[in-house]
Amino acid sequence: MDARLQDKLDALPTEPGVYLMKDRRGLVIYVGKAINLRNRVRSYFTRTGDTRAFIALLDTMLADIETVLVHNEKEALLLENELIKKHKPRFNVLLKDDKQFISLRLDRSQPYPRLEVVRKYERDGARYFGPYSSAGAIRETLRIINRYFHLRTCTDHVLANRKRPCLLHQIGRCPAPCVYPVPPEDYRRSVDEVGLFLEGKAGELVDGLRGRMKRAASELKFEEAARLRDQLQAIERSLERQKVATTDFKDQDVFASYREGDRILFYVLWVRQGRLNGGQAFPFGSQEFPDEELLASFVNLYYDQGSFVPEEVLLPLEPESLEGLEALLSERKGQKVRVLVPKRGEKHELVLMARKNAEQSFAERKRTKDETDAVLGRLQQKLNLRNYPRRMECFDISHFQGSSIVASQVAVTDGETDKSRYRRYKIKTLEKQDDFASMYEVISRRLKRGQEEKDLPDLLVIDGGKGQLASAHAAMKDLGIEGVDVVGLAKSRDQEVFDRDAESARSPERVFVLGRKDPIVLPQNSAEIFMLTRMRDEAHRFAITFQRKDLRKSRIHSALEDIPGVGEGRRKVLLRHFGSLKRVGEASIEELAELIGPSLAERVHAGLHGHPDEDTSDPVRDASLADADAAIGEKSSQGGSPAGSA
């Protein structure tokens, strides 16, 4: 350790605050908090027997330490959270925004409340239920509620503007408060029952339904009694599957961790009203700091994203900032929150259960990661790549009859799709089809941005053969980029079969590499070719979605904006009210007149339908759009490009 850094360590304050460790380039590599900054930071250099890689490399990696003083632990937690999100340090646990979980929101302040699927909790007076770890779990819950409790599912806008009941009313799953005068007390009873069901309060809910069923039968209302009987049976089956975890019936989040070396996994077990409600694993790599520090930082980031704050938070070990964390969570919830480290009893059993789940999730991910690493290693060897292909990006060019030329970029990191790196491109330099020039433009734009942001992939996968590969290589050469591998993946094609009785055979997928005349044929059932073709197919799908959206915009423009007097404002009013261009066309003149006046309504109606003496249709446009939809649909089903696309 150099003398300047040693002097900084000796001069560190003993007050609470946040410290930022920086490398020789000035980049922040770790952000931590401490009640006593001097003791915490100096402990990294005075520990004996600590063989973790990061601690051993501190002398060579660490160039500077910056501190920020605060008044207390709570302020240190808040500042640490902000600095982690700002600098994204290499050795901190980082939670992405898409880690938020879906929950159900019920706003009882509305006259006819509905359940909404949300991803963030707000202190708005509404009731929140969840979280749900999967879309399947929340779909099953909503299916039971929609079938047996009969709450409306439409938005507030639709509720206020609907003129006739929807299909759900016709099949007996909604009382249609949008049209009919539904008694508020009857609807409120259903809302209360939904709350009991989602909270898992089986006794109160079942007793109420059983009493209503018997009362309806005694009044000879047998259809209503049968409906209540079916509802009661479905609810009892659903509630039986929920395992009771504790006897105090509180909302709890239970945290645990499992680590091997620098890889650590945190697991959150959700307990709602004393019943297990699910859980989720959060794996992280390159984490060399102590478990206590990482756990406190993870819990802080987890709740900062808008996750539901329960009455109790159970931890497997005590972090230094326990009191500050408790104060911070209490402030976010608006009421007292207890942060506990149980040593015995039911709560300790919950922590052990979370620990078992963490260990199991770690083992499953380790096995999957080892398999993925082996596939990527074989891919590097068989394609003779210079780089280990940890991050790959695939590009596809798509067009329709020489126009509407677009391109897609999809990314795979460590064998998994990385949607944060997906990109869409509109070809700017060409007015007609040229797949080679289009590929040159797209690769040039991508790599130029990568040079500026110092963000280049390990491998580029080009959808196409030698021509597209040569275009991509030319773009790399013109930009002076040499450290990125590039290959071309050609689609399979029919081979000539001399035996007329034999069925048409298909050639293998072919991988073209620079400097080699013949393509490389990987085994067709291998994991390596599956990884490449899956990425290629995803690029096709992404390009098709973009192209279809572009064509639909053109169709909306032709159908509405070409009508005199219909500008952007009136077009938005019509589409917002009716929901789609099709419904605008189905509307009567009277319905249109309520929005845009009788004179313009007649003109819009004529423009969309055509009067007997006024032909407003465009056969060429209509035929082209029909062909476009057909071609795009065919591409979606076959996994190929539209007509004329390589």
Number of domains in the chain: 4
Q: Distance between CA atoms of 93 and 294, rounded to whole angstroms?
A: 7
The reported pLDDT for the residue numbered 555 is: 58
State if pTM tops 0.85.
Answer: no
- Do 311 and 409 sit in the same domain of this protein? no
Q: What is the pLDDT of residue 553?
A: 62
- Clarify whether residues 427 and 484 are in a common domain: yes
Let me know whether 354 and 499 are in one domain: no
Residue at 259 is within a domain = yes
Q: Assign 398 to helix, strand or coil.
A: strand
Q: What is the pLDDT of residue 599?
A: 86
Sign of the CA dihedral with 296 first, then 301, 303, and 304 last = positive
Same-domain check for residues 361 and 445: no
What is the residue range of 506's domain? 391-544
Indicate if 487 and 560 belong to the same structural domain. Answer: no
Q: Do 516 and 570 fall into the same domain?
A: no
Answer with the one of 544, 579, 614 that is the final residue of a domain: 544
Q: Is residue 312 part of a domain?
A: yes
Domain boundary among the residues 525, 544, 563 is at 544
**Domain match, 436 and 538 both:** yes
Q: Are residues 564 and 625 in the same domain?
A: yes
How far CA 107 is from CA of 104, 158, 309, 329, 590, in Å, comes to 10, 17, 18, 23, 35
User: Does one domain contain both 540 and 559?
Assistant: no
Query: In the numeric block, which tokens belong to residue 150?
Result: 């009969």
Residue 592: inside a domain, yes or no?
Answer: yes
The answer to the question of residue 616 being in a domain is yes
- Structural domain includes residue 260: yes
CA distance 150 to 145: 7
Q: Where are the beta strands (DSSP E) in 181-297?
A: 252-260, 263-272, 275-284
Domain boundary among 77, 92, 107: 92
pLDDT at residue 498 in the model: 42
Does some domain include residue 612? Answer: yes
25 and 52 assigned to the same domain: yes
Angle at the Cα of 282 (from 281 to 284), degrees rounded to 5? 140
What pLDDT, on a 0 to 100 scale, did the predictor assign at position 240? 57
**Residue 555 belongs to domain with CATH number:** 1.10.150.20
Helices (H) and strands (E) in the chain — how many of each?
21, 18
Q: Does residue 74 fall inside a structural domain? A: yes
Residue 142 inside a domain? The answer is no
Which residues of the chain fall below pLDDT 70? 1, 47-57, 59, 96-101, 133-134, 202, 238-247, 400-403, 492-507, 550-559, 610-646
- 192-202 pLDDT, tens digit per residue, is 888 888 877 76
Do 285 and 348 lie in a common domain?
yes
pLDDT tens for 87-109 read 888 888 887 654 456 788 999 88
H/E element, 295: helix 291-304
Based on the fold, state whether residues 414 and 341 are members of the same structural domain.
no
296: CATH: 3.30.420
